[in-house]
A and B are shown apart, each in its own frame.
With several copies, the nearest count.
Chain A
Amino acid sequence: MNRKKLLKVLPWITTPGLLVVLFVVWELSVTALDVSPLILPPPTMIFENLGTLLAQPGTWDNVRVTVIEIVLGFVAGTLAGVLVGVILGKLPLVEASVRPLIIALEVVPKVALIPLFVIWFGFGMTTKVIIAGLLAFFPVMLNVLLGVRSVDRGHRDLMQSINASRWQTFRHLEFKSMMPHVFAGMETAIVLAVIGTIVGEYLGGNEGLGYMVVKTLNELNAPALFAVILMLATVGLIMYFIVTSFKRVAIPWHESVYGRKEVG
C-alpha cells in the first residue's frame, strides 16, 4: 500500500481502533480503582444509557432543537460576519477605529450576558440562535476582513484594466478570493456555534441537548450526562464535517481543497 493512500484510509481504521482502546482502558481502570460512577461512570454504563436515551422520542426532539439552533445561529453569524467583514475590510479607517472595540467585544464572556439575552429575546430558540450567532460572528468577520485586504494586487489591476465596475470587481474577484478565508472562519465558527447553543440551552429554556445536560446533572445521573456529552460531540463532529465538505464543493479550486484531493 502506497503511503499517500495509507494517509487517506488510516483515519477510518485507527479512529475506531483508538476509541475502542480508550474505552477499554477507561472501563478497566474505573473498575479497578473502584471510582464512583457518580464521578466517572464506566463506558458500558454510558452506552447503556445512550441506548435508552436514543430510544426515547423526546431525545430526538431535543437533538432537533439543538441542531436547528446551531444551524440558524451559524448561518446568521456567518452572514453577518461576511457582511461586516466586507464593509470594514473596504473601509480601513473605520476598521482601525473600531478594532479595539471589536477585540474587547470578542473577549467579553458573552455567557455573563445570557440572562440579559433571555430577558430581551425570550426563552425560545431566538436567544440561543443569537448567542450561537454572536460567537460564530467573530471568527468569520475577522477572517473576511483579512480576506478582503489580501486580494491579489495583480488581480485588482486586471479588473481595473478591463474596466470592471465596483460590483463586477466584487462579484468576480473580491468575493471569490475571499471565500477560502470565509471557510477558514466558518471552521472555527461552527465549533463556537455549537458551544454557544449548548451554553444558551444550559442557562435558559427547556429544550435541547444543553438542557439535557442540566437535567441529567440534576438527576445525579452521571452515565446519562456522559451519554448526552457523547451526543453533543457527535453533533459537533457532524456539523464540522458538513462545513468542510461544503468547502470542497464551493471552492474546489483552492489549494486547501485540491491539495488534499491529490493526496487521495
Chain B
Amino acid sequence: GTASSGAAGGSGSGIAPFTYLSYLPMETLSVAPELLADAGGHFENHGLQVTFQSTKGSPQAIQTLVAGAGPLTRVGAIDLITAAADGQPLVNVGSIVRGSSIRILNATVNPLEKPEDFLGKTIGVPSEGGTSDKSLSLMLHKAGLNPDDVARQVVGLGPGTFELVKRGDIAGYMVSIDQSIVTQQQFEGEAQAFDAGDAVRADSQIYTATQQSLEEHGEEIKAYMAAIRDAVQEIIDDESLESVIETMRSKYSFGSLDDDEVAKESLSQSRDLWTAKGTQPLLTTDEGYWAEGYEELVSAGMVEAGSDPSEWLDNSYLPAS
C-alpha cells in the first residue's frame, strides 16, 4: 500500500497521499471524473494527493486492490459481484455509471440494432471472459436469448480494428464510449454504435474497496468520493461542457479530450449515465438495483446463488448530499 494511514497525513500541509487503481489507462474520458477532480483541484480541496496507477484490465485491478497496492479502484458491478461471491472481501462504496458504458461498433451496411441481430454472429471482445464479454452475455440473456448463440473473438484493439468489421470477419466489437465516437468519426457513415442501455442492472461501474482498505483508509476514501462527487457535479453544472474540458486540458492531453466534438459528445453521454438520466442521486447505490444485478448474474449462471449482495454494499462513505 502507498497511502499512509490517517486522513490528515503526516505533513504539515494536511495533504494525504492516495493511490487510485484504474483498470483503464488515464487517457480516456471514461475516467473524466478523476481527471477533473485532479485538474480542477477537487482532490486537493478534500486534502488528498492522488496518484493514479493503471492496471491491464479489471481482474488486475481487483488483484492489486486485494494485494493492498492501493485502497480503491473502480470496476464493473459484474466483476465485483462475481469476485465477491467467490469470497473476495470487496465492497461497493459508490456507483458511478448506471447503465452500459460499453458500445458495440458495427457496420451500417450490416447493422446491429437490437439483441436479436447478434444471433449467429461473431463479436470482438477485448479479452475472453472479461467485463465486456460478460456484459454482452447478460444483455443477451436479459433479452431472452442464448448467449452461446453469439460467438466471441478476442480482438486486439487498435486504430484499424474497424477494418475487421468492414471485411466481415466480425459483426461488431466492444469499445468505450469515447472510442466509439472517435471511430464513428473516422469511419463516417460506415460505423455505428450499439448501446445496450440500462436494461441490465449489473452493467454498471462501481467504486470498489476491500474491507481492510476501508478499515485502514476509510477517511481518505470518504474524501476521494467527495472529490469525485464535486467533479461530477461540476460536469453536470457546466451545460456547454466547455469550461470543464478546458480545466481537464490544463493537465491532460489525449485524442478524445483534445477533440472538441468527441469530448463533448462522450461527456454528455457519460453525464446521462452518471445520473441515470437524472433519475438517481450521484454515487448512491440503490439497494434494490444492486440486488437485481446480483439476481441477473445468478439467473444467467455466472454467479452461484445463496449470497446476500447487501453485504457487499456500503453507502456510508459517500458525502451527505
Contacts of B60 in A (CB 8 A): 115, 118, 204, 217
Interface stretch of the complex, out of B25-33, B39-47, B305-313: B25-33
Our pick among B69, B128, B155, B163 for the contact of A36 (Cβ within 8 Å) is: B163
Interface residues of B in 80-139 (CB under 8 A from A): 82-83, 86, 88, 127-130, 133
Q: Does A214 contact B (CB under 8 A)?
A: yes
User: In the bound complex, do residue B256 and residue A38 qualify as a contact, i.e. CB atoms below 8 Å apart?
Assistant: no
Q: Does B194 contact A (CB under 8 A)?
A: no
Interface stretch of the complex, out of A80-88, A97-105, A219-227: A219-227
User: Which of A115, A123, A203, A222 has the largest count of B CB atoms less than 10 A from its CB?
Assistant: A123
User: In the bound complex, do residue A214 and residue B129 qualify as a contact, i.e. CB atoms below 8 Å apart?
Assistant: yes
Contacts of B28 in A (CB 8 A): 218
Given contacts A38-B66, A214-B127, A217-B59, A116 and B153 within 8 Å (CB-CB): no
User: In the bound complex, do residue A218 and residue B161 qualify as a contact, i.e. CB atoms below 8 Å apart?
Assistant: no
Cα distance, A37 to B28, chains bound together (Å): 22
| Inter-chain CB contacts under 8 Å: number | 150
User: In the bound complex, do residue A119 and residue B63 qualify as a contact, i.e. CB atoms below 8 Å apart?
Assistant: yes
Q: In the complex, how many residues of chain A place their beta carbon closer than 8 angstroms to a beta carbon of chain B?
A: 28
- Chain B nearest CB from A105 CB (Å) reads 20
User: In the bound complex, do residue B53 and residue A123 qualify as a contact, i.e. CB atoms below 8 Å apart?
Assistant: yes
Cα distance, A215 to B54, chains bound together (Å): 11
User: In the bound complex, do residue A39 and residue B159 qualify as a contact, i.e. CB atoms below 8 Å apart?
Assistant: yes
Q: Does B148 contact A (CB under 8 A)?
A: no
Chain A 50-75 interface mask (CB, 8 Å, partner B; 1/0): 00000010100000000000000000
Our pick among B53, B88, B179, B256 for the contact of A206 (Cβ within 8 Å) is: B53
User: In the bound complex, do residue B64 and residue A119 qualify as a contact, i.e. CB atoms below 8 Å apart?
Assistant: yes
Cα distance, A220 to B81, chains bound together (Å): 12
User: In the bound complex, do residue B156 and residue A38 qualify as a contact, i.e. CB atoms below 8 Å apart?
Assistant: no
User: In the bound complex, do residue B156 and residue A115 qualify as a contact, i.e. CB atoms below 8 Å apart?
Assistant: yes
User: Which of B56, B129, B156, B254 has the largest count of A CB atoms less than 10 A from its CB?
Assistant: B156
Interface residues of B in 133-167 (CB under 8 A from A): 133, 152-164
- Chain A nearest CB from B34 CB (Å) reads 12
CB nearest neighbor in B for A205: B154
Our pick among B156, B163, B169, B256 for the contact of A203 (Cβ within 8 Å) is: B156
Contacts of A264 in B (CB 8 A): none
Cα distance, A39 to B182, chains bound together (Å): 15
Cα distance, A206 to B160, chains bound together (Å): 20
Q: Does B199 contact A (CB under 8 A)?
A: no
Our pick among A119, A214, A225 for the contact of B163 (Cβ within 8 Å) is: A119
Our pick among A40, A115, A211 for the contact of B25 (Cβ within 8 Å) is: A211
User: In the bound complex, do residue A203 and residue B154 qualify as a contact, i.e. CB atoms below 8 Å apart?
Assistant: yes
Q: Does B55 contact A (CB under 8 A)?
A: yes
Chain B 69-83 interface mask (CB, 8 Å, partner A; 1/0): 100000000000011
Cα distance, A193 to B279, chains bound together (Å): 53
Cα distance, A203 to B160, chains bound together (Å): 15
Q: Does A17 contact B (CB under 8 A)?
A: no
User: In the bound complex, do residue B186 and residue A115 qualify as a contact, i.e. CB atoms below 8 Å apart?
Assistant: no
CB nearest neighbor in B for A39: B160
Listed in ascending order, the chain B residues whose CB lies under 8 Å from chain A are 2, 25-28, 52-57, 59-60, 62-64, 66-67, 69, 82-83, 86, 88, 127-130, 133, 152-164, 169, 179, 182-183, 186, 253-256
